[in-house]
Amino acid sequence: MERLKKIGTLPQLSSQEIATSRLGLGFEKLDRAVFDPNKAYDKVAATGTKLVRLQSGWARTEKTEGVYDFLWLDEIVDNFLSRSIEPWLCLCYGNPVYTEAAKGSFGAVGYAPTSTERELSAWLAYVKATVEHFKDRIKYFEIWNEPDCFYAWHHTDGEPETREQRLKNALDYGKFAIATSIAIKEVFPEAEVIGLCHGNVDNLEWANVAFSTGLYQHIDYVSFHCYTHDELKRRDRIQRFKYFLESYNPKIKFIQGETGAPSRSDGTGAMMSYAWTPVKQMKALLRGIIIDLAMGVEFTSYFSTMDMIEAHTGKLNDKASYLDYGYFGILGCDFDENGIASGEYYEKPSYYAFSALTSLLHGDSAPENIAYNRLCLESNRVNGEDCCDSTVVIEGFRLEGDRRALIYWNAVDLLTLTYEGTISFEIYGKIDSVRLVDLRDGGIYELPELMIERIDGGVRLKNLPITDCPLAVLYE
């Protein structure tokens, strides 16, 4: 970037300054009260996000049979609405009031209420009460979280983690989700119901068994989670998932409901123990979200706002069992002796990258096939010629205001490699001005005359910088 002149920065638009967006953030685990939302609201709103994913917390809401206390969740929902951010609600998890095995569990995570008629009836009553309470403020209701994962769907401790049990759980979930969807629609016919919500988008066998119950006829959307440091595999996984959905219903829409990467190598959770750093987390965020949007998701939600304990299988009488720290947040923090996020919440590089994306890709921005030709010209920067690697990713987007963006990077292995070189394009169409945007921080750069050549029907851009982190050719 040293050859270019920085002329400005994308405006960091707040959520109140953006009308619509397909970029969201996860605000999960407040059903277990693992961080203070009051210290995060304004920082979230400053990113320009328009969607936040919440978890409903049955165990926190109904501590006495038939008595629902929504005050804790009301405060969260209303704080976001006051900042022009739309919450969507994942209905989960179990409840020790009804499930004996859940007693002593930290948050009753994963205890499916389907073993007895009493459990299921109580769950459906809770669902109806929740939807009735929030139907004027929330329209998207998601049924459970990652039920294809054993930690998130079981009936007792120690159930066998086998393929047979997994498929049995898929059948169980399908019937459960149908009953839940019917309960939601009974109270709120206009609700948008989200199903599957599976933790492994590759797990089409599980999804197929769940759909065999007829679930696909009772939901408006499906959601999936995709944790991977390889966005080329991510694209393939999402494409196969799209084909699977189309085989059941070509009109069904899909949501990327949870994805992310840690910023440290010593945490727990998805992709733990890899050589993560704050910079690698930032690159993973940009590369992953851009692929999601290019693949046509309804919206994509990044996990997560905060660093926090994972607490998937914690026991209340064993503090060490839930002090398993995850560093997935775009905001970092300290932790107190009980594992609660404390101190002043601070912004990581991923925070500024997410903000740059929302600033660029808001409103009616959408993937678009842009007419371009990639060139391999002589270059005096690296190895004497432009990057001709097959791992280069190039995605086109239409932006607000009749602008276009060609976003590109070299998808070398995120965890072990970096890359810096040059690349050249011919872009066709009516083009009056061209700028380059660094999506790490939204910096806008002017291209020197020697890099731009006007050609019939377009422009030739010569020896632009390319790295392993996305840059955007912005033109109109």
The full set of domain ranges for the chain reads 13-360, 366-475
Per-residue pLDDT at 396 = 98
Per-residue pLDDT at 375 = 96
Question: Cα(162)–Cα(237) distance, rounded to whole angstroms?
Answer: 23
How much of the chain is in helix, strand and coil states, percent to nearest 5?
A: 30, 30, 45
Per-residue pLDDT at 382 = 73
> CA torsion sign, 202 to 280 to 256 to 147?
positive
Q: Does domain 13-360 have CATH number 3.20.20.80?
A: yes
Question: Cα(78)–Cα(82) distance, rounded to whole angstroms?
Answer: 6
CATH ID of 366-475, from 1.10.3210, 1.10.1660, 2.60.420, 2.60.40: 2.60.40
Phi, psi of 394 (to 5 degrees): -135, 120
Q: Which residues, 6+ apart, have CB-to-CB distance to 427 below 8 Å?
A: 370, 371, 372, 406, 458, 459, 461, 473, 475
Q: Which residue pairs, CB below 8 angstroms and at least 24 apart, start in 73-79?
A: 73/30, 73/134, 75/37, 76/27, 76/30, 76/37, 77/134, 77/137, 77/138, 78/137, 79/37, 79/38, 79/41
What is the mean pLDDT, run by run of 10 residues, along the chain of 476 residues? Answer: 91 96 97 97 98 98 98 98 98 98 95 98 98 98 98 94 97 98 98 96 96 97 96 95 95 95 95 95 98 97 97 89 95 96 97 98 96 95 88 97 95 96 96 97 96 96 97 97
Predicted TM-score (pTM) of this structure: 0.97
